[in-house]
């Protein structure tokens, strides 16, 4: 038996059918080994290494530590079992950098004792598969090196720079070769919008008639000088260049009146043939863009739906950067064209699409209907769900249209004009388009991010006109226009931009969008991607200290270097060493150190704010806020940055967010306010402007909410502290109060927490005195009661127990404590594991030069 391993289970099923008896086809389900993802993935024997967190031994030739992730272990043992029965192994993963690497990892993990062959194919057809079996090659170690270099570089960048963000911006943030430029693209667009000043300009829209047929034309020139359009204005709102005239509303209205009785005639008619080629079949990025524009799908929904179509055998592989069609696909498209649209829609020769995508690896075909005969959308719709049917139709239309003839027609430009009562020459222009042969447009019209551009695609007919023809004037309307800031990115346009820059891969476009949202860099309003204030702070830090990383050309340069490694003109270790330690330039390691040393957290988190003298916009621990002198006010997180104008800022200062009037305190006559502060929601007795001192405040109980708290609740809260009584021994007053850590009672400088907020009002003097006789202890915790007793630690001879603490469950021997790890649980942990954790903890304490407290028994003996 010969064992063939491919990457995808669906592919394995198809190929198994083509190879038949004597072959078993299985899948690796993607990569089978990787650097440890998080601390819990690091084997215990490596935990102590200084480089364990990176998973790359930077001191020893960047040797990577590979582990088989938990979710892949089952598949590996399955493959191992099959390999025992096999007398030959074919590694048939994709023929690109990642595929070659998967093949190598499989080889390493399976350590086969039978002959191993590398087998590659680009088309999944019986012929292609049979041919590739008969023409195997060897593993390409250089290509594997290039992948490993890419993998390690990404790890070094991500895991060295992210901690800088934790220190200077916020914990849990992330930086990476791909995500950081993506965030920067969105931030830069928002910056442009923030700096944008709209310009107003006017023209005239005239309705004319020729031979009884009406049409519309726009004022294009006045006294021979071109009338300005949107393109003549800069982002600062000022007109740029010369040779045009800008009209304001009054001028436009005056001109309209002046032209009301003028005679108009056609001045020129210019006809041009019109022709348009179809679009290439889909690759991942264009599918995501079109599904976004036409079906309003997110990138994720598109990929999920395509995955189902692929698994059911309706379409070819959906993660591809190629627009190439196999011969069988071209034949299928052509036969469908002649059947459905007629032979005149079919070009004499098949169209060939060559990809212009940067860094394309082209391991697969374009995305198209599967098989040697395309199933019609109607046939597929009967068998699948709505989303799948719609996406299939889109894929089908695009693939079929790509092999159809060009659309043909004629476009016409008409100029017309007249002279006004005060002798001004006004020229108008209009254009039309007539399609004489629709060609591929019969099957497919591309969607657009810009609705105006989409309109252009429509046919527009004009009446028949010739130079010198007199025209009737039906009406003249002054039209005001305003220039608009560049549109925000959508998922579709961001994917397009990333692809243009060669950043990211087909398998990751959708997850890039998810990542930048999950990390809190970007949020969606409708389909627009809006950067958060955190994103501004992060991008600014990265621009100032890691300019190379967020440079849009970084990935392209890396790809060139990887190509050199793959081609034998470069080597991994010197390359990584230069990148990390530096070589005639500053390496990553020093750049990180310098950033930590020089960057000022306050400056980093301050976002430039136009026009606000003495006004600072900052991203802080509690979200974004504005500061002016001593005054501070929160900025709502869902306020798009470009809407934060000086005017809005003033409004925010005037009415701090979330404030609510609850009513009047009958005793003092003061207004009772509910507010949100640094420590959460609270109520307050308002004070007059000129009053001195501080207003009385009280935190809400946990059971209350800011939106629902009543005046009665507020008055109860504000009645605290309550005097419980006097201590008969010392004479000191005992008070019940609500504080930072919840309800408590206080006697002089001594205090004890209470169990419930209710007790603040019900506790008696006797009960309070009893509470004071007890030792201080944390809320809700009976005096250090262990969750479990594990027995005696063989290392120390002390009893070890599991306790629950602030940071979750931990084990302790009375001297040293150690938190349970992700892979541990209170129920399953045993004494051996606990002893191991304690050993590790002791070692770590010693390494940090801290004292290791011995456990009670060791102390005694």
Partner DNA sequence: CAGTGAGCGAGCTTCCGCTTGACTT
Catalytic residues, by residue number, are: 317
Return the SS3 of 626: strand
Which residue's CB is nearer to DNA, number 268 or number 511? Answer: 511
Q: Minimal distance in Å, beta carbon 117 to DNA?
A: 20
128 or 221: whose CB is closer to DNA?
A: 128
DSSP state of 670: P
746 and 735 in contact (C-beta within 8 Å)? yes
Contacts (CB under 7 A) with DNA, residues 68-87: 71
For 296-385, where are the alpha helices, taking DSSP H only? 299-311, 327-340, 377-381
Q: Which of 301, 334, 519, 540 binds DNA (CB under 7 A)?
A: 519
**Sole binder of DNA in the list 132, 302, 402, 515 (CB under 7 A):** 515
Q: Which structure tokens are listed for 261? A: 């009785």
**Piece in contact with DNA (CB under 7 A), picked from 131-139, 324-332, 462-470, 512-520:** 512-520
According to CB under 7 A, which one of 64, 447, 612, 620 is a site residue for DNA? 620
Question: What residues numbered 472-491 form the site for DNA, per CB under 7 A?
Answer: none
Q: How far is the CB of 430 from DNA (least distance, A)?
A: 47
CA distance 679 to 682: 8
| Residues 345-364 within binding reach of DNA (CB under 7 A) | 361
Q: What single DSSP character describes residue 236? A: T
Part of the chain binding DNA (CB under 7 A), chosen from 347-355, 534-542, 581-589, 671-679: 671-679
Residue choice 17, 40, 296, 583 for contact with DNA (CB under 7 A): 40
707 touches DNA by CB under 7 A: no
CB of 350 vs DNA, minimal distance in Å: 27
Closest distance to DNA from the beta carbon of 718 (Å): 11
Sorted by sequence, the CB contacts under 8 Å of residue 367 that are 6+ apart come out as 281, 282, 283, 284, 287, 306, 315, 316, 317, 318, 320, 395, 399
Q: Are 35 and 56 in contact (CB under 8 A)?
A: yes
Query: With binding defined as CB under 7 A, does residue 129 bind DNA?
Result: no
The 8 Å CB, 24+ separation contacts for 10-15 are 10/310, 10/311, 10/313, 11/124, 11/317, 14/124, 14/313, 15/92, 15/124, 15/129
Enter the tokens of residue 117. Answer: 């062959």
Q: Pick from 752, 788, 839, 857: which binds DNA (CB under 7 A)?
A: 752
Selected from 218, 312, 645, 697, the binder of DNA by CB under 7 A is: 697
DSSP state string for 549-614: HHSTTHHHHHHHHHHHHHTTSS-HHHHHHHHHHBSSSB-HHHHHHHHHHH--HHHHTEEP-TT-TT
Structure tokens at 851: 């004292």
Residue 273 makes CB contacts below 8 A (sequence gap 6+) with: 408, 409, 410, 411
Residue 261, classified by CB atoms within 10 Å of its CB into exposed (0-12), middle (13-18) or buried (19+), is: exposed
> Tokens 């087998």 belong to which residue?
119
The closest alpha carbon to 658, from 700, 609, 618, belongs to 700
Work out the burial of residue 187: count CB atoms within 10 Å of its CB; fewer than 13 is exposed, 13-18 middle, 19 or more buried: buried
Q: Smaller CB distance to DNA: residue 11 or 193?
A: 11
Q: For residue 644, give every residue at least 6 positions away whose Cβ sits within 8 Å of its Cβ, in sequence order, or none.
A: 609, 617, 635
Mapping DSSP onto H, E and C, the string for 430-470 reads EEEEEEEECHHHHCCCCCCCCHHHHHHHCCECCCCCCCCCE
User: Is 35 one of the binding residues for DNA (CB under 7 A)?
Assistant: yes
Site for DNA in 641-660 (CB under 7 A): none
Kindly identify the residues of this chain, within the stretch 708-737, that bind DNA according to CB under 7 A: 737
d(CA 249, CA 239): 16
565 contributes a contact to DNA by CB under 7 A: no
By C-beta, is 440 or 682 nearer to DNA? 682
Q: How far is the CB of 321 from DNA (least distance, A)?
A: 9
Q: Is residue 627 helix, strand or coil? A: strand
- Angstrom distance (rounded) from CA 233 to CA 197: 10
Within residues 806-845, the interface with DNA by CB under 7 A covers 806-807, 810, 812, 817-819, 821-822, 841, 844
Alpha carbon separation from 135 to 117, 118, 132 (Å, rounded): 9, 9, 5
**Which of residues 692 and 694 has its CB atom nearest to DNA in the complex?**
694
Which lies closer to DNA via its Cβ, residue 217 or residue 370? Answer: 370
Among positions 16, 19, 24, 29, the unique one binding DNA when judged by CB under 7 A? 29
Among 242, 452, 597, 622, binds DNA (CB under 7 A): 622
Question: Should residue 670 be labelled a site residue for DNA when binding is judged by CB under 7 A?
Answer: no
Distance between CA 24 and CA 83 in Å, rounded?
Answer: 10
The separation between CA 146 and the C-alpha centre of its own chain, rounded to angstroms, equals 27
Instruction: Report, in Å, the least distance between residue 15 CB and DNA.
Output: 12
The answer to whether the beta carbons of residues 442 and 234 sit under 8 Å apart is: no
Give the residue with the Cβ less far from DNA, 276 or 628. Answer: 628
Among 682, 714, 801, 813, binds DNA (CB under 7 A): 682
Q: Which is nearer to DNA, 162 or 275 (CB)?
A: 162
End-to-end CA distance of the chain: give it in Å, rounded. 66
**Which residue from 10, 68, 435, 639 is in contact with DNA, where contact means CB under 7 A?**
10
Which of positions 760-799 make contact with DNA (CB under 7 A)?
776, 778-779
Is residue 97 a contact point for DNA (CB under 7 A)? Answer: yes
In terms of Cα–Cα distance, which of 445, 649, 14 is closest to 636?
Answer: 649
3-state secondary structure of 786: coil
Q: How far apart are CA 673 and CA 310, in angstroms?
A: 59
> Which residues from 98-127 bind DNA, rule CB under 7 A?
98, 102
Contact status: 95 vs DNA (CB under 7 A): no
Footprint (CB under 7 A) of DNA, residues 141-200: 150-151, 154-155, 157-159, 162-163, 166, 171-172, 174-180
Q: Which is nearer to DNA, 155 or 334 (CB)?
A: 155
The structure tokens listed for 292 are 């976004």
Using CB under 7 A as the binding rule, whether residue 34 contacts DNA is answered as: yes
Residue 208: CB minimum distance to DNA, A: 55
* Residue 9 engages DNA in binding (rule: CB under 7 A): yes
Nearer to DNA by C-beta: 214 or 655?
655
677 lies in the binding site for DNA (CB under 7 A): yes
What minimum distance in Å lies between the beta carbon of 651 and DNA? 16
Q: Tell which positions 46-65 bind DNA, by CB under 7 A.
A: 53
Instruction: Choose one: 224-232, 392-400, 605-613, 747-755; the region binding DNA (CB under 7 A).
Output: 747-755
What is the closest distance, in whole angstroms, from the C-beta atom of residue 22 to DNA in the complex? 24
Instruction: Say whether residue 686 binds DNA (CB under 7 A).
Output: no
Q: Are 90 and 79 in contact (CB under 8 A)?
A: no
Nearest to 194 by CA among 488, 452, 407: 488
Least Cβ distance, residue 446 to DNA (angstroms): 25
Q: Among 17, 547, 567, 739, which residue sits at the site for DNA (rule: CB under 7 A)?
A: 739
Size of the site for DNA (CB under 7 A): 103
Per CB under 7 A, the segment of 14-22, 423-431, 449-457, 680-688 that binds DNA is 680-688
Q: Which is nearer to DNA, 567 or 680 (CB)?
A: 680
Please tell me whether residue 39 binds DNA under the rule CB under 7 A: yes
Closest to DNA by CB, 442 or 618: 618
- Select from 230, 623, 636, 797 the one that contacts DNA (CB under 7 A): 623
* Tokens coding 377: 């959308």
744 is an interface residue for DNA by CB under 7 A? yes
Strand partners, 409: 274, 435
Scan residues 278-307 and list those touching DNA (CB under 7 A): 307
Out of 96, 123, 290, 387, the residue judged to bind DNA by CB under 7 A: 96
Which residue, 582 or 620, has its beta carbon nearer to DNA? 620
């Amino acid at each position: 038996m010969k064992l063939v391993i491919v990457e995808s289970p669906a592919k394995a099923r198809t190929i198994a059918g083509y190879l038949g008896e004597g072959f078993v086809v299985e899948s690796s389900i993607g990569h089978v080994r990787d650097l440890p993802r998080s601390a819990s993935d690091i084997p215990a024997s490596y935990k102590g290494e200084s480089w364990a967190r990176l998973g790359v031994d930077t001191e020893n030739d960047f040797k990577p530590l590979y582990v088989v992730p938990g979710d892949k272990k089952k598949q590996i043992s399955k493959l191992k079992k099959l390999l025992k029965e096999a007398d030959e192994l074919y590694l048939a993963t994709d023929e690109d950098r990642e595929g070659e690497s998967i093949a190598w990892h499989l080889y390493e993990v399976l350590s086969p004792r039978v002959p191993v062959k590398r087998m590659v194919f680009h088309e999944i057809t019986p012929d292609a598969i049979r041919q590739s079996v008969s023409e195997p090659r060897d593993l390409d170690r250089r290509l594997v090196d290039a992948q490993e270099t890419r993998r390690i570089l990404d790890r070094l960048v991500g895991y060295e720079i992210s901690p800088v963000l934790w220190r200077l911006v916020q914990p849990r943030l992330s930086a990476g070769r791909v995500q950081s430029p993506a965030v920067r693209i969105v931030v830069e667009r928002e910056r442009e919008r923030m700096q944008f000043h709209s310009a107003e300009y006017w023209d005239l829209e005239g309705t004319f008639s020729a031979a009884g047929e009406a049409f519309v034309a726009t004022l294009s020139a006045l006294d021979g000088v071109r009338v300005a359009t949107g393109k003549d204005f800069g982002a600062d709102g000022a007109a740029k260049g010369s040779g045009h005239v800008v009209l304001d509303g009054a001028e436009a209205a005056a001109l309209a009146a002046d032209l009301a009785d003028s005679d108009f005639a056609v001045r020129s008619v210019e006809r041009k043939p019109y022709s348009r080629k179809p679009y290439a079949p889909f690759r991942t990025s264009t599918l995501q863009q079109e599904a976004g524009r036409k079906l309003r799908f997110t990138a994720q929904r598109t990929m999920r739906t395509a995955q189902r179509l692929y698994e059911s055998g309706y379409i070819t592989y959906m993660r591809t950067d190629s627009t190439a069609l196999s011969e069988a696909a071209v034949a299928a498209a052509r036969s469908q064209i002649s059947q459905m649209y007629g032979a005149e829609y079919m070009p004499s020769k098949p169209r060939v699409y060559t990809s212009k995508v940067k860094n394309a690896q082209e391991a697969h075909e374009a995305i198209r209907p599967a098989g040697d005969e395309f199933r019609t959308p109607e046939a597929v719709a009967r068998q699948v769900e709505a989303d799948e049917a719609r996406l299939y139709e889109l894929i089908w239309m695009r693939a079929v249209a790509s092999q159809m003839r060009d659309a043909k027609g004629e476009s016409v430009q008409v100029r017309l004009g007249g002279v006004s009562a005060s002798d001004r020459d006004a020229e108008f222009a209009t254009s039309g388009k007539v399609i004489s042969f629709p060609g591929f447009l019969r099957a497919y019209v591309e969607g657009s991010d810009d609705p105006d551009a989409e309109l252009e695609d429509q046919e527009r007919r004009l009446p028949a006109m010739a130079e010198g023809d007199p025209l009737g004037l039906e009406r003249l309307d002054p039209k005001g226009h305003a220039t608009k800031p560049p549109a925000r990115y959508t998922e579709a346009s961001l994917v397009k931009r990333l692809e243009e820059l060669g950043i990211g891969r087909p398998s990751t476009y959708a997850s890039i969008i998810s990542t930048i949202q999950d990390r809190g860099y970007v949020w969606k309003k409708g389909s627009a991607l809006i950067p958060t204030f955190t994103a501004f702070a992060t991008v600014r830090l990265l621009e100032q200290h890691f300019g190379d990383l967020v440079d849009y050309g970084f990935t392209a340069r890396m790809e060139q270097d990887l190509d050199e490694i793959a081609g034998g003109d470069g080597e991994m270790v010197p390359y990584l060493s230069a990148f990390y330690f530096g070589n005639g330039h500053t390496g990553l390691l020093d750049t990180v150190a310098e950033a930590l040393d020089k960057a000022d957290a306050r400056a980093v988190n301050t976002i430039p704010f136009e026009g606000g003298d003495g006004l600072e916009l900052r991203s802080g621990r509690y979200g974004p806020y504005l500061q002016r002198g001593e005054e501070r006010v929160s900025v709502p997180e869902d306020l798009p940055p470009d809407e934060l104008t000086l005017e809005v800022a003033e409004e925010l200062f005037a009415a701090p967010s979330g404030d609510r009037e609850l009513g009047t305190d009958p005793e003092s006559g003061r207004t009772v306010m509910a507010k949100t502060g640094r420590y959460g929601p609270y109520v307050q007795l308002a004070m007059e402007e000129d009053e001195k001192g501080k207003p009385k405040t009280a935190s809400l109980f946990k059971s209350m909410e800011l939106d629902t708290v009543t005046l009665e609740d507020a008055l109860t809260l504000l009645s605290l502290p309550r005097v419980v009584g006097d201590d008969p021994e010392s004479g000191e007053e005992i008070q019940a109060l609500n504080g930072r850590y919840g309800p408590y009672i206080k006697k002089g400088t001594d205090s004890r927490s209470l169990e419930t907020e209710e007790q603040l009002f019900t506790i008696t003097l006797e009960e309070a005195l009893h509470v004071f006789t007890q030792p201080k202890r944390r809320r809700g915790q009976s005096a250090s009661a262990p969750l479990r007793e594990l027995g005696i630690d063989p290392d120390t001879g002390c009893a070890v127990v599991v306790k629950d603490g602030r940071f979750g469950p931990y084990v302790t021997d009375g001297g040293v404590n150690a938190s349970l790890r992700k892979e541990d649980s209170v129920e399953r942990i045993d004494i051996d594991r606990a002893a191991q954790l304690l050993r590790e903890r002791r070692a770590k304490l010693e390494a940090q030069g801290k004292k290791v407290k011995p456990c009670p028994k060791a102390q005694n003996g």
